[in-house]
Amino acid sequence: MATGELISGAAEELFGRRAAIRMVRDFMERPIVDGVPTSRWQPVLLFVGPGGAGRSALLHDLDIKLDNNVPHARVDFAHLPTAGIEDVLELLVFELNRHCGSYGTLAFPRFIVGRIVMGLEGIDHRNPAVPYRVIPEQLETYRDVDKLMNFLNEMAAGVMAVLGLPGEIGGQVARLVFSGLIGRRRIRRVIFGPGRDWYEQLDPGRDPIKGLVELHRRAGNRAGDADRHWVDSVLLAAFMADLRDGFTASGRRDPVRSLNAVILLDNAGLPAGTHFLKRLVQARNLISKRGDGRPDPLTVVAASDGELPRHVMVDVQPLPESGIGDPDAFFRRFEDRPGNGRWWYPVRLRDLVEDDVEAMVAALRLSVFNGDHVALLVHGLTRGHPGSTRLLLDAVGDHDVEVRDDPDNLADPADLLDLRLILDRPMPGTAPSRSVRDMLIESLLGDLAGQPDVVEDLVTCSAARDRQEIRRLGEVDDLLTHHPHRLLEHDLWVPGEHGPGLVMRPALRRLLLDRLAARDDTAADGWPALHRYLRDCAEREGGPADPGVLYHALALGDEEGRKTVCKELQTSLGRMSAGDWLELLWAVTGAPNRQRYTGSPNDAVIRLSRWAGPDERACARLVTGLWLAADPLTGCRRRTLHSSVSWNYAEAMALVGDGTDDLQKEVDRHTGLAARWC
């Protein structure tokens, strides 16, 4: 594959991840020096994000695109909970040869010799002369082709079992590894050449046999951390030395390897993955400090939402998902980065934007529903969370087919495109039948979905605007089963749209709010009690005009509360700048709404604002209209709702002196939204 090409391969389209894939391609680049592709020091490219962010989907897409192009391997640590370093490296040796493409087979003589020696049995180390004599004698027996093939077949069988692949594939891959080992060389030159001689660096006297004796001794004593760490480091160094040699062209018939080999490590935050990556980084760091140390031709792409990011991000903050610009300039800067930051490049996977969701909707080829409306509704609920967006769109597509194929259906599609209705439908392909709503909640909660007491606490916490208010809920006796700290440590929190604090992921919160609304109104953990408590807390801390007071008063939903909110916002309009007032308005009208309205949402706005006199009507309708528009479950009959909001913004412009440009932008924005909902 030519250097300038993008990674190619037949794969289903992965929406919204073009920049991430381009970044991987930039990391794979091997710059040409004196006409020859060369390796360079590089960090682990670590994609981080919460459950459902699309980490596994990204690695799957890369796996397909890389196939038959460059040597690559994919390891999912969710399937390797107890894997040691040697287990992972064995898997990599076979997978890099199984997916080697035009690069040809890769030889790993140093690693293979090390694993042969580690497995030798019945050698007594009490007399140093014994292992020094016996180990080379037993190693000599592997000059026999059948014996070496049997060893590789046994190793391959274990790897194939882990991967869940048929045993015959293991035999095929073992033959690939064997051919990579032998190539045009005699077997003696493999076992007693680079495979054995490399171990001289383990002995101060540069005796490779003593190095292998030490490896065998320590491999048998790995109950202790020091011996286990030493053996891990040796195997990693041997693996990387083999890989460096494999990418060094030695003849005209060797392929030009212009891109790195790639390993894709999924669920790398699990203990086995964290252990492997830490040891890999330590090995690279040690090699880089040697005078003759050379970088390895390996791009490591990891994905995680667990302990690994928290470990890495002590010194390194996650960066946005975007291209690295000029790769040469980036890697020059990388070599100058101090400490831990040199070896990690964490990238937070972004949520999908509206354009991404529109492309996903177009791919559904809907027959009945308006695709623009579907994209607006789905993005409004999920806010671009990839997993929940995909799941909800699949449910919409299934509903569209069902409506299309129902000859008795005479309903207006706008009435059937109701997310509340779709959320309560059974999710296609689930047995026993599960609702779309429940599947979405489980997708967003991840492992927490199996802890009912935690889920109930999160339902209670859905009343809170942000994490600070959740801590306030924790001050009420017996309200939460778990301490707020435990609830807040999970990756369910994202930056809020209004204010600096972190908030519960909007899609999760909206769905949990429905469960909160279903609780008994007289209960201490019911909707009214929680919002009254949080309103009173905000008033004690910030006074009656505090945004938190207005927010929770609106959430309570009674007419008196709506009056208070609208009057305070109208009064504020005369004493604040337009920009500040808009921030206050948006923060307040983001309050949750548990009422269900039939018919046009704008009719509901008019009905809920009947209390307002002529001087208050525009502000009352503006506040109420924005409150209903902020709820993604309001429905798709929103054209007149946004037209009314636009009109009432224009009315508000007459009440301010300066800053009307900010209000005019909102007039124009809602006029545009009204057009999109036609």
CA 126 to chain centroid, in Å, comes to 51
β-strands 493-495, 502-504 pairing: antiparallel
- What confidence score (pLDDT) does residue 319 get? 66
More confident residue, 177 or 250: 177
Element (DSSP H or E) covering residue 140: helix 129-140
pLDDT band at 6 (very low <50, low <70, confident <90, very high): very low
Record the pTM.
Answer: 0.86
CB under 8 Å to 542, separation ≥6 — which residues?
548, 549
What's 144's DSSP letter?
A: S
Across 507-525, average pLDDT = 96
Q: Say how far apart CA 269 and CA 251 lie, in whole Å.
A: 41
Burial class (CB in 10 A: 0-12, 13-18, 19+), 28: buried
352 secondary structure, DSSP code: P
pLDDT band of residue 115 (cuts 50, 70, 90) is: very high
- Collapsing DSSP to helix, strand or coil, 62 comes out as helix
Q: What is the pLDDT of residues 364-390, one digit of tens each?
A: 999 999 999 999 999 999 999 999 999
What confidence tens digit (pLDDT) does each residue in 616-670 have? Answer: 999 999 999 999 999 999 988 999 999 999 999 999 888 776 668 899 999 999 9
Which DSSP symbol is given to 546?
-
pLDDT given at position 310: 67
Average pLDDT over residues 422-431: 84
Which carries the bigger pLDDT value, residue 175 or residue 463?
463
The confidence band for 8, taking pLDDT boundaries of 50, 70 and 90, is very low
Lowest mean pLDDT among 152-161, 520-529, 607-616, 630-639: 152-161
In this model, does residue 187 exceed pLDDT 80? no
Nearest to 26 by CA among 488, 334, 398: 334
Q: Using omega within 30 degrees of 0 as the cis cutoff, is the peptide bond preceding 432 cis?
A: yes
**Main-chain dihedrals φ then ψ at residue 44, nearest 5 degrees:** -70, 130
Q: 375 vs 181, which has greater pLDDT?
A: 375
* Range in 297-301, 422-426, 488-492, 655-659 the model is least confident about: 655-659
Q: What is d(CA 562, CA 389) in angstroms, rounded to the nearest whole number? A: 33
Question: What single letter denotes the amino acid at residue 323?
Answer: G
Please give the angle made by the CA atoms of 107, 110 and 116, to the nearest 5 degrees.
105
